[in-house]
């Protein structure tokens, strides 16, 4: 199968994913949701002669996150947050490697403890708002949101440090994950609506589509 056909397949499955959500076709929804990352994997393996372990690990984490998100019990939610969080950590490394300016890297390292402490405080403060609803999920959600925040910050820094196609891809991926998770939070704890469900899926599909471009073009020689 050519890359063009894989692209069309991705778009077709993404459309079926959206249709399944709109009409609440549970089986089709589950199948299409877990089919996106495998297509990204096939695109990657077909496009690269050598397959880097970190890229495969990244895709595996996101795939497992999608798998556990299909299950509806507390442990599954924790595992979903865990695997997506681990995937974001791998992406943080990619973004950090794209920071070519040593001074910016040192600045990031020096500021990272302060950033983490701030987000610990900030996310812990959501207990006053979401404490009753989150229950035992408060701590996993807090740590996940810290990782996602750091992912977003590092992707922004790498983009403005050097505006390239790769840093733009990373930034878009981080923003789509951030938007999707914010929408999920609103949808779950404030006001559930089909619009939010579709918007969340749209953000996920966009993120995975850009991810398919990123993993093909990312150059590990940047880590010299």
- Residue 219 pLDDT more than 90? no
Retrieve residue 44's tokens.
């990657």
pLDDT of residue 110: 61
Give the whole-number percent of the chain exceeding pLDDT 70.
84
pLDDT (tens digit, 9 = 90+) per residue, 38-80? 999 999 999 988 899 999 999 999 999 999 999 988 899 999 9
Q: Which residues contact 213 (CB under 8 A, 6 or more apart)?
A: 169
Which of residues 206 and 104 earns the better pLDDT score? 206
The closest of 81, 138, 85, 151 to 112, measured between CA atoms, is 151
pLDDT value of residue 62: 98
The token pair at 117 is 């402490």
pLDDT > 50? residue 224: no
Task: Please state the rounded mean pLDDT for residues 77-99.
Answer: 94
* Residue-wise pLDDT tens digits, 141-162: 888 988 998 899 899 888 988 8
- Residues with Cβ within 8 Å of 145's Cβ and at least 6 positions away in sequence, in order, are 119, 123, 181
pLDDT at 38: 97
pLDDT band per the 50, 70, 90 thresholds, residue 191 = confident
Q: Which residue has the higher pLDDT, 134 or 82?
A: 82
Average pLDDT value over all residues in the chain: 87
Q: pTM for this one?
A: 0.90
pLDDT greater than 70 at residue 132: no
The pLDDT confidence band at residue 111, using thresholds 50, 70 and 90, is low
Q: Which of 102, 213, 129, 119 is nearest to 167 (CA)?
A: 213
pLDDT value, residue 100: 78
């Amino acid at each position: 199968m050519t890359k063009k056909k894989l692209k069309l397949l991705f778009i077709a499955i993404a459309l079926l994913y959206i249709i399944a959500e709109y009409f609440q076709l549970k089986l089709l929804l589950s199948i299409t949701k877990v089919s996106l990352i495998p297509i990204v994997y096939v695109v990657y393996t077909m496009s690269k002669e050598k397959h880097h372990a970190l890229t495969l690990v990244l895709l595996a984490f996101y795939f497992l996150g999608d798998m556990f998100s299909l299950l509806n019990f507390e442990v599954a939610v924790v595992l979903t947050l865990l695997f997506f969080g681990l995937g974001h950590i791998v992406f943080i490394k990619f973004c950090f490697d794209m920071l070519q300016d040593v001074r910016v890297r040192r600045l990031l390292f020096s500021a990272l403890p302060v950033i983490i402490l701030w987000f610990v405080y900030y996310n812990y403060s959501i207990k006053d708002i979401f404490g009753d609803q989150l229950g035992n999920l408060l701590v996993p959600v807090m740590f996940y949101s810290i990782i996602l925040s750091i992912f977003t910050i590092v992707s922004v820094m790498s983009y403005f440090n050097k505006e390239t196609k790769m840093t733009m891809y990373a930034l878009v991926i981080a923003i789509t994950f951030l938007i999707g998770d914010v929408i999920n939070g609103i949808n779950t704890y404030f006001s559930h609506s089909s619009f939010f469900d579709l918007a969340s899926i749209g953000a996920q599909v966009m993120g995975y589509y850009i991810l398919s471009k990123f993993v093909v073009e990312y150059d590990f020689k940047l880590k010299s």
